[in-house]
Structure 1
Amino acid sequence: MPVAEDSAVPAPAGQDGGRPARTVADRLLGVLDAFDQTHRRLTLSELARRTGLPLATTHRMVARLTCWGALERAEDGSYTIGLRLWEVAALAPRGLGLREAALPYLEDLYEATHENVHLAVADGVETVYIERLSGREAVGVLSRVGARWPLSVTGVGLVLAAHAAPAVQSAVCAHPPRAFTPYTITDPARIRAMLAEVRRTGLAVSDRQITDDALSAAAPIRSADGTVVAAVGLVVRAGEGRVPELAPTLRVAARGISRALGWPGN
């Protein structure tokens, strides 16, 4: 009895390069995964090419996702991510809930500094930004809400890595990032030393690791049981020596957000 194309039953050995056939869920997620920062709008043909699926299969997957609201179809026939995904993502406790608790303190931090303000969480060995406030006079940054960067190259990422599980720290050090600038630290021993320094001081500093004109500093945000669940950071122009000036304000913001999450510490 032939297996339908959308069946979750694995293909026989040797079919599809010896790998099991992708399930319907795999295909649906693959379509969503085709979108990224530089591919925000894709045609059906582009989606088929980026997912490696036949055009007919892509059409069915896209139709299902569009009907549910995960994708939206533009007048020109191309597709974008739909608002339904935003609604679902807003339910994530490390997303909108954390952002809502933190936002008053992030706004205060911005008003006190008029610099780039970031709120981030960890996902494996990557930093994920869930909020960003920025002003016209602040140094330009590449971060955006939803962006991901290796943990070791940003201030918020260093905080998260320093307080992560030992297995995550080992992975961060074992697989250093590519060099974004001449200042990017890729030596595992130096990364491990930076993480130890963050734990000792309670403050992380990443100097020109992503762009050669920006420096970021960050402090940990703790949940009710004291676990570090997020990080708040500032990005300023490199070479201005502002970290000692900004560190107390940054720590106050981190403590305020932590208390809003139920942390009883000082």
Structure 2
Amino acid sequence: MNVKQQSKKDPSSAQAGVGLLHKAFEILNLFQIAHADWSQGEIIEQTGVSRSTVSRLVRYLVETGYLAEIPKTGRYTLGMAAINLGQRAEAAFDLKSFCQPALEELSALTDETILLTAFDRHAQTAVCIDQIEGERGGLRVFEKIGASFPLHAGAAPRVILAALPRKEQDVYLAKELVAYTAYTFISPDKIRDDIKQIEREGFCTSIEETYLGAAGMAACFTGPDNYPVGSIAIAFPLHNMDDIKKNNIGIKMTKIAEGLSKKLKA
């Protein structure tokens, strides 16, 4: 009789366990690039979780390596266990294969070059990880696989910047911004105005910001936490801009990016 009772799951106990797990993830999700360290008091204020529960969960997360205490400060950062988990997840997820159908769908709409970028959170850059080169005659635009650009320079990176939380945008824009050409957006006010336009239209357009004579359009896709994962983009010679606009490629590209976001969140 005792054995049977012990083998049965107590529904209330299971629900409590799920609730505690939810609170643990809520704490871990506070640790972002723009706010990398937190005190227990700040965690309590931000989450509304009780002091005793926060204390117990933080102690457990430190013991398991998912948080690390900064000596003599009473503040915490993500620990090596969290970093290793992220690295394993990144290695196991093949973003190129996942996005290949979307790239092919976008490629079918135009003969221009299609690019896939991944957001490098640590370096705050957009990294080109795949492309389908355009087959249009005459001048063509393409990018080197592995090339990276800061988040303010060009359509593919800036559409990622636009998807970041406002606080992280402000931290990024407070830095000194590098210009690749005379047309690179380096004014924080100008970039903020462009972000507002991206939020309205769903895509970003850039003209000669990274290479003279080249233009681009890009749309961002996000993960389960609504944080940017990367962007899909079209790169083309500037003289083809009218054809791109006429065919509403930006709107169509935005819908394809939204489809990627939905699949990542499914």
Query: TM-score by structure 2 length?
Result: 0.58
Q: Which amino acid aligns with 1:243?
A: K
1:243 alignment partner in structure 2: 245
Q: Which amino acid aligns with 2:131?
A: R
Q: Alpha-carbon deviations, 1:221-254, whole Å to 9, x = none?
A: 1324544322111112214322352113312321
Consecutive unaligned residues in structure 2, runs of 5 or more: 1-86
1:171 alignment partner in structure 2: 171
Q: Which amino acid aligns with 1:202?
A: G
Q: 1:175 offset after TM fit, Å?
A: 2.5
Q: 1:92 offset after TM fit, Å?
A: 5.1
Name whichever of 191-200 and 175-184 sits farther off.
175-184
Q: Alpha-carbon deviations, 1:92-142, whole Å to 9, x = none?
A: 53885222111011012112212111111222431112211112536223x
1:260 alignment partner in structure 2: 263
Q: Considering only aligned residues, what root-mean-square deviation do their CA atoms show, in Å? A: 2.6
**8 Å contact 1:139–1:214 — kept in the other structure?**
no
Consecutive unaligned residues in structure 1, runs of 5 or more: 1-89
- Secondary structure of residue in 1 paired with 2:189: helix
**8 Å contact 1:101–1:260 — kept in the other structure?**
no
Q: Distance in 2 between matches of 1:101 and 1:168?
A: 27
2:115 alignment partner in structure 1: 118
Flag as ranges the 4+ runs of structure 1 deviating above 4 A: none
- Per the alignment, do residues 181 and 146 of structure 1 end up closer, same or farther by CA in structure 2, a change over 3 Å counting? same
2:127 alignment partner in structure 1: 128
- Secondary structure of residue in 1 paired with 2:265: coil
1:196 alignment partner in structure 2: 196
- Corresponding pairs, count: 174
2:105 alignment partner in structure 1: 108
Q: Which amino acid aligns with 2:103?
A: L
- Per the alignment, do residues 166 and 100 of structure 1 end up closer, same or farther by CA in structure 2, a change over 3 Å counting? same
Query: TM-score by structure 1 length?
Result: 0.58
**8 Å contact 1:117–1:235 — kept in the other structure?**
yes
Q: Which amino acid aligns with 1:121?
A: A
- Secondary structure of residue in 2 paired with 1:205: strand
Q: 1:176 offset after TM fit, Å?
A: 4.5
Q: Which amino acid aligns with 1:130?
A: I
- Secondary structure of residue in 2 paired with 1:196: helix
Q: 1:152 offset after TM fit, Å?
A: 1.1
**8 Å contact 1:102–1:260 — kept in the other structure?**
no
1:97 alignment partner in structure 2: 94
Q: Alpha-carbon deviations, 1:174-202, whole Å to 9, x = none?
A: 23433222211221211121122212221
- Secondary structure of residue in 1 paired with 2:179: coil
**8 Å contact 2:126–2:230 — kept in the other structure?**
no
Q: How do residues 55-94 of structure 1 correspond to structure 2 at under 5 angstroms? A: 93=90
**8 Å contact 2:156–2:204 — kept in the other structure?**
yes
Q: Distance in 1 between matches of 2:88 and 2:113?
A: 26
More helix, by proportion: 2
- Per the alignment, do residues 180 and 227 of structure 1 end up closer, same or farther by CA in structure 2, a change over 3 Å counting? closer
Q: Distance in 2 between matches of 1:221 and 1:206?
A: 18
- Per the alignment, do residues 250 and 169 of structure 1 end up closer, same or farther by CA in structure 2, a change over 3 Å counting? same
- Per the alignment, do residues 149 and 94 of structure 1 end up closer, same or farther by CA in structure 2, a change over 3 Å counting? farther
Q: Distance in 2 between matches of 1:173 and 1:219?
A: 20
Q: 1:144 offset after TM fit, Å?
A: 2.3
Q: Which amino acid aligns with 2:117?
A: A
Name whichever of 250-259 and 213-222 sits farther off.
250-259
Q: Which amino acid aligns with 1:111?
A: A
Q: Distance in 2 between matches of 1:234 and 1:256?
A: 17
